[in-house]
Amino acid sequence: MTKTTVYLPEELELRLDAESAATGVSKAALIRRGITELLDNSSRLRRNRPLPVFNSGRSLTPEEMADATYEHIEERAARR
């Protein structure tokens, strides 16, 4: 997990504090929920490309396949 610093206007910070206190949900969790909702509801078209076909001339071990798949997913997520 990477860390990102976000600066909020005072009014938004106060509203976030109040929501956190009222719901018992941490400010970080509320921020993550908000970002997730924004991205999930984005009208920007997403490219739904199939996962790559791995053809290295030899069979991959399960660990190699998992690593290659993880790298591909990580690259796609970085482009979102």
> 36: pLDDT confidence band, cut at 50, 70 and 90?
very high
Q: Rounded CA gap, 32 and 46, in Å?
A: 21
CA dihedral over 70, 1, 33, 44, signed as positive or negative: negative
CA distance 58 to 5: 44
Residue 21 has pLDDT above 80, yes or no: yes
Q: What is the mean pLDDT of residues 11-39?
A: 95
Q: What are phi and psi of 75, to 5 degrees?
A: -65, -45
Q: What is the pLDDT of residue 18?
A: 97
**Pick from 70, 10, 9, 6: nearest CA to 32:** 6
- Residue 23's contacts (CB-CB under 8 Å, 6 or more residues apart) are 30
- Better-scored residue on pLDDT, 20 or 52: 20
